[in-house]
Structure 1
Amino acid sequence: MNNIKKLRTEFGINQTELGNKIGLSARAIGFYESSDRDIPTSKLQKIADYFNVSTDYVLGRSSTSQKDDEVIQIPLLGKIAAGYPTTMFADVIDYIDIPADMARGNKELFALKTKGKSMEPNFIEGDILIFEKTEDCENGQFCAVAVNGDDATFKKVTKTDAGIMLQPLNPAFETKFYTNEQIASLPVTIIGVLKESRRKY
């Protein structure tokens, strides 16, 4: 089976959102995810380009997503809580390698290590999360979010007219809702959008 659904889940987007970004219908995305048939080359390349991975990785023929041998290093910062907000230290504790193509377009990337259980089963303690630095996101994306200045948490973000919801994936944890007034006063700020997660086995 190919890795399209896995990649889409890691990026926190649904079939419709992926289809809109690469010019395919949600129905086509769903078909490619569940079918073992060959994906047309032009469509396969669009999917690979969007996720910044090799076509072999999309097809499940390679265990590494890297397109080529060129790599760069990005900083691994302090831990981020996948549970209750916790202070995110800006100190660089390490550097990790990523494919150079991942940073194409002058993207500013950074990595954090998650702890806690609120984002299980998709993300577990110790996972390395790679983010693109941004102060905005689309509904349903997984983000690093600063709460009350120094606090940071990792959640699925849903925006409403009244405010913003930070949603865990583990039903044992509650969704946090912040009104527009709280967003401005605390403040609540998007730090980055998840681009990739890595797990050591």
Structure 2
Amino acid sequence: MTIADNIKKLRKQYDLSQKELAEIAHVTDKAVSSWEKGNSEPRMGAIQRMADHFGILKSSIIEENGMDNLINIHNHQPLPPGTVATKSASMKVPIYGYISAGIPFEMISTDNYKEVPAPIAKDYPNAFLLQIEGDSMNKLFPSGTYALIDPCLEVNNGEIAAVNVNGYEATLKRFFKLSNGIALEPESYNPEHSVQFFDCRKGECEDIRVLGKLVWHMAPFNIRY
């Protein structure tokens, strides 16, 4: 079974039209038609979006007979023969705005929603999405990535968190609470980014608030692999 066969089988098992699958993969319905005819193959970004949406491994789409041996990515167990998740495999999560992966800046409310895999949304029912802008975390997340933030989880030293600075600005960094202050550490290929330190002895920690812990992320649909 080729990639073309896998995509066709996946679409039919979900009872989706080519247009509906195209919306999930962020491509045109003509592209899906071309995939199923074997005239072209999807880019890795489109494969990743389909796998994320349906809660399956990319190999289920790429490998020969992949659809015959479906593995659920959330518990790594085989799915029942002949079945995949239903259309409710995704759930809408609110997007609260943008967050800097560089210099902290004001979050902007967008009043929008984005679909994430249902098991993820159910595991973190109070979580919200922030879209990353900037390059200070680009070793891990390209600009445009959606970061799922859970405000109910404790953030331990060294974990990645969304942090509110100066009451209205926000940034995504590795968080460290030290004896004399708070450090926000980047993960960047850009040498201009360095650790930001806030000295509590000087009152610099008073306006810093942890918004939540990063629990999941999704790359932007237009990223090229």
TM-score range, shorter chain: 0.5 to 0.7
Give the Cα–Cα distance (whole angstroms) in 2 for the partners of residues 105 and 98 of structure 1. Answer: 11
> Does the residue aligned with 2:167 lie in a helix, a strand or coil?
coil
Conservation of the 8 A alpha-carbon contact between 1:166 and 1:177: yes
Give the superposition deviation at 1:122: 1.1
Scaled by the length of structure 2, what TM-score is found? 0.56
Find 1:74's aligned residue among 82, 88, 93: 93
> Does the residue aligned with 1:173 lie in a helix, a strand or coil?
coil
Give the Cα–Cα distance (whole angstroms) in 1 for the partners of residues 73 and 147 of structure 2. Answer: 15
Give the superposition deviation at 1:74: 0.7
Structure 1 stretches of 4+ with a deviation exceeding 3 A read: 60-70, 103-107
Conservation of the 8 A alpha-carbon contact between 1:82 and 1:154: yes
Instruction: Give the structure 1 partner of residue 26 of structure 2.
Output: none
Within-5 A mapping of 1:23-38: none
> Does the residue aligned with 1:182 lie in a helix, a strand or coil?
coil
Cα 1:146/1:128, change in 2 over 3 Å: same
Instruction: Give the structure 1 partner of residue 208 of structure 2.
Output: 188
Instruction: Give the structure 2 partner of residue 95 of structure 1.
Output: 113
Give the superposition deviation at 1:135: 7.4
Instruction: Give the structure 2 partner of residue 120 of structure 1.
Output: 138
Scaled by the length of structure 1, what TM-score is found? 0.62
| Residue 172 of structure 1 pairs with residue 216 of structure 2 | no
Find 1:154's aligned residue among 172, 176, 181: 172
Give the Cα–Cα distance (whole angstroms) in 1 for the partners of residues 152 and 177 of structure 2. Answer: 16
Percent of residue pairs identical? 27
- The alignment yields a C-alpha RMSD, in angstroms, of 2.6
Give the Cα–Cα distance (whole angstroms) in 1 for the partners of residues 164 and 184 of structure 2. Answer: 11
How big is each residue's C-alpha offset from its partner over 1:26-61, in whole Å with a ceiling of 9 and x where there is no partner?
Answer: xxxxxxxxxxxxxxxxxxxxxxxxxxxx7x75xx75
How big is each residue's C-alpha offset from its partner over 1:1-21, in whole Å with a ceiling of 9 and x where there is no partner?
Answer: xxxxxxxxxxxxxxxxxxxxx
Conservation of the 8 A alpha-carbon contact between 1:119 and 1:169: yes
Q: Any gaps of 5 or more consecutive residues in structure 2?
A: 1-54, 62-71, 76-84
Give the superposition deviation at 1:104: 3.7
Range moving further from structure 2, 162-171 or 69-78: 69-78
Conservation of the 8 A alpha-carbon contact between 2:93 and 2:121: no
Give the Cα–Cα distance (whole angstroms) in 2 for the partners of residues 62 and 172 of structure 1. Answer: 41
Within-5 A mapping of 1:132-143: 132-134=150-152, 136-143=154-161
How big is each residue's C-alpha offset from its partner over 1:101-134, in whole Å with a ceiling of 9 and x where there is no partner?
Answer: 3244663110011111111121111111111124
Give the superposition deviation at 1:76: 1.2
Aligned length: 143
Instruction: Give the structure 1 partner of residue 162 of structure 2.
Output: 144
Structure ranking higher in strand proportion: 1
Instruction: Give the structure 2 partner of residue 83 of structure 1.
Output: 102
> Does the residue aligned with 1:101 lie in a helix, a strand or coil?
helix
Conservation of the 8 A alpha-carbon contact between 1:134 and 1:191: no
> Does the residue aligned with 2:192 lie in a helix, a strand or coil?
coil
> Does the residue aligned with 2:204 lie in a helix, a strand or coil?
helix
Give the superposition deviation at 1:183: 1.5
Conservation of the 8 A alpha-carbon contact between 1:134 and 1:190: no
Instruction: Give the structure 2 partner of residue 38 of structure 1.
Output: none
